[in-house]
A and B are shown apart, each in its own frame.
Chain A
């Protein structure tokens, strides 16, 4: 049995008094690429906020490497954050720093290495995402895809055990998106990094996911878990088949299910 790096148990949460998620439980094993998929408004981003410890769930637990991130007044969360990297939707680079400085930021904050080593490490990460030539550029001087790749380099700076992606292919052209997928696969293969990816891009899901966790707004939680192929070919849930078949979902089907 493989060892889970991240485990979510009976998570419940939402905004204000509106509940978005309930009874969400799943696990991510070491070295796995798990995609959280679903239509807009199904609670994907809400779930990610809970996984990253940006908000505290109403009920249930998020465990990273076996310990509840909220267990001991934030210490477990701080420890977990050293071991994961996050790529935000827009890259979330600091605009007043160059790409290289952005990647250097976590390295200089969390390690005590001499500057030449920091520089080599950061440059290697930029090289890994194909941006070594743009090290001295500022985020606003490069394209959206490049900002995202630089964000990935920053997320990888400390060789995290796990990387979270929030809509990595949003706003990218198909070619850049496919290149980013390749990059994610390469990093997963060579560095054995566990990946959790929130997305609704079908081609990406088919290309990179080992397992898909599918959320739905009507169910306020998970409606299916499995490999992309299994879900696409064998699921009988109209919401799953509609998603994988890229077809509009008939209203009766929704009522029928819920």
Chain B
């Protein structure tokens, strides 16, 4: 095959001759030539009779150039219909319609807020229904434990629970240290350092331990669940399971919920332990409080129900985190971008709902907890 000859563009009066194959890189020269021709003549012709072909973008440039200024007529090479076809296609394909005028900034903003509220309502409604379906699947699993896939639950227990232990322990220990230091710093002014374990014990077991563990698990596992199920949806794996007759809730959702329900209380106890340990260390170092004093003080003011209540919180949080993560995954319809949005939504929504639930449970707890008189 002969190599494609170089392009030659020449202007004779109002006629622009093109010889050879026009590449996009040389299209600018053609535009300049056409402009030159319009300066010397009223009638401009683009003579392509010796043109052997054009790259599409080059043809588009040439076509656009014949439209601007005085319309240039085009003569096509005889016996080669391709170029004429390309130009005719350009003529046929109307340029994009101008977008409708944008609404005012305020209106657009208000409309956006409205749409977001409706979307949030839609999400909550969907989540509610999803939770119902999951609960049914869970009931079946509990009623007939033999048919439940425990291996899947074990897998998630390892990934969501065991692997989260180091980070939960370390962050709670750090928080316990900081809280102990801050409490001690305030109390020292009044000579009331002895109450530091009271403050720390309550805040760790009631709030910090369960919340921190839940937020970490939400960040690690809620996103993972959403990404897993979302990708399965994109790859039609969920559809495949459904048409094979699987109960998707039982197969995909229940093992995750059960795994989190089982590991979350343990994680919370670990969080409590390391948080209180942080307080013990800072008490000894900063307040000169011997460990036995710290521990006996804790023993005096804390009730077993403080720990049980934290575990109860953990159960609620576990259900929220697993359900929200799975639900956000099932909402994925399109492609990769939606999987990303689903993981974000999973973490944000589960942390939000965890904190709302935490507030409600805490309010209830303050009313029912027996007062300890020391």
A interface residues with partner B (beta carbon < 8 Å): 2-3, 29-31, 94-96, 107, 111, 113, 116-121, 123-125, 127-128, 132, 138-140, 158-159, 190-192
Contact count band on B: 20 to 34
With A96-B335, A190-B82: A159-B57 Cβ-Cβ less than 8 Å:
yes
With A95-B335, A113-B24, A190-B82: A124-B60 Cβ-Cβ less than 8 Å:
yes
Interface residues of B in 14-38 (CB under 8 A from A): 24
Could you give 22 example pairs across A and B, Cβ below 8 Å? A95-B335, A95-B336, A96-B334, A96-B337, A116-B95, A118-B57, A119-B95, A120-B63, A120-B64, A120-B95, A121-B57, A124-B56, A124-B60, A124-B89, A124-B93, A127-B89, A127-B93, A128-B89, A140-B334, A140-B335, A159-B56, A190-B82
Chain B residues contacting A123 (CB-CB under 8 Å) are: 93
Given A95-B334, A111-B24, A113-B24, 15 more pairs with CB closer than 8 A: A2-B1, A31-B1, A95-B337, A96-B335, A117-B60, A117-B61, A119-B95, A120-B60, A120-B90, A124-B56, A124-B90, A125-B56, A140-B333, A159-B24, A192-B1
Chain A residues contacting B92 (CB-CB under 8 Å) are: 127
Chain A residues contacting B56 (CB-CB under 8 Å) are: 121, 124-125, 159
Chain A residues contacting B95 (CB-CB under 8 Å) are: 116, 119-120
Shortest beta-carbon distance, B80 to chain A, in Å?
A: 10
Q: Is the interface of A mostly helix, strand, loop or mixed?
A: helix
With A and B bound together, what is the CA distance between A96 and B93 in angstroms?
24
Chain B residues contacting A3 (CB-CB under 8 Å) are: 1
Interface residues of B in 35-67 (CB under 8 A from A): 53, 55-57, 59-61, 63-64
Shortest beta-carbon distance, A193 to chain B, in Å?
A: 12
With A30-B1, A140-B333: A120-B24 Cβ-Cβ less than 8 Å:
no
Q: Which residue of A lies closest to B93 (CB)?
A: A123
Chain A residues contacting B53 (CB-CB under 8 Å) are: 191
B interface residues with partner A (beta carbon < 8 Å): 1, 24, 53, 55-57, 59-61, 63-64, 82, 86, 89-90, 92-93, 95-96, 333-338
With A and B bound together, what is the CA distance between A16 and B59 in angstroms?
47
Contact indicator B64/A117 (Cβ below 8 Å): yes
Inter-chain CB contacts under 8 Å: number: 68
Contact indicator B64/A116 (Cβ below 8 Å): yes
With A and B bound together, what is the CA distance between A115 and B82 in angstroms?
24
Shortest beta-carbon distance, B71 to chain A, in Å?
A: 16
Shortest beta-carbon distance, B56 to chain A, in Å?
A: 5
With A3-B1, A127-B89, A132-B93: A121-B333 Cβ-Cβ less than 8 Å:
no
Chain B residues contacting A138 (CB-CB under 8 Å) are: 334
With A and B bound together, what is the CA distance between A248 and B104 in angstroms?
69
Chain B residues contacting A118 (CB-CB under 8 Å) are: 57
Chain B residues contacting A158 (CB-CB under 8 Å) are: 57
Q: Which residue of B lies closest to A113 (CB)?
A: B57
Q: Which residue of B lies closest to A29 (CB)?
A: B1
Chain B residues contacting A125 (CB-CB under 8 Å) are: 56
With A and B bound together, what is the CA distance between A139 and B336 in angstroms?
13
Chain A residues contacting B57 (CB-CB under 8 Å) are: 107, 111, 113, 117-118, 121, 158-159
Contact indicator B96/A119 (Cβ below 8 Å): yes
With A and B bound together, what is the CA distance between A119 and B63 in angstroms?
12
Shortest beta-carbon distance, B1 to chain A, in Å?
A: 5
Shortest beta-carbon distance, B110 to chain A, in Å?
A: 26
With A and B bound together, what is the CA distance between A138 and B63 in angstroms?
28
Contact indicator A159/B55 (Cβ below 8 Å): yes
Chain B residues contacting A128 (CB-CB under 8 Å) are: 89
Chain A residues contacting B336 (CB-CB under 8 Å) are: 95-96
Chain B residues contacting A113 (CB-CB under 8 Å) are: 24, 57, 60-61
Among A96, A113, A124, A128, chain B packs the most CB atoms within 10 A around the CB of: A124
Among B56, B96, B338, chain A packs the most CB atoms within 10 A around the CB of: B56
Q: Which residue of B lies closest to A96 (CB)?
A: B337
Chain A residues contacting B93 (CB-CB under 8 Å) are: 120, 123-124, 127, 132
Shortest beta-carbon distance, A102 to chain B, in Å?
A: 12
With A and B bound together, what is the CA distance between A41 and B86 in angstroms?
41
With A and B bound together, what is the CA distance between A118 and B92 in angstroms?
16
Chain B residues contacting A31 (CB-CB under 8 Å) are: 1
Shortest beta-carbon distance, B38 to chain A, in Å?
A: 19
Shortest beta-carbon distance, A240 to chain B, in Å?
A: 29
Shortest beta-carbon distance, A217 to chain B, in Å?
A: 27
Shortest beta-carbon distance, B343 to chain A, in Å?
A: 15
Shortest beta-carbon distance, B335 to chain A, in Å?
A: 3
Chain A residues contacting B64 (CB-CB under 8 Å) are: 116-117, 120
Chain A residues contacting B337 (CB-CB under 8 Å) are: 95-96
With A and B bound together, what is the CA distance between A219 and B241 in angstroms?
38
Chain A residues contacting B96 (CB-CB under 8 Å) are: 119
Chain B residues contacting A117 (CB-CB under 8 Å) are: 57, 60-61, 64
Shortest beta-carbon distance, A160 to chain B, in Å?
A: 10
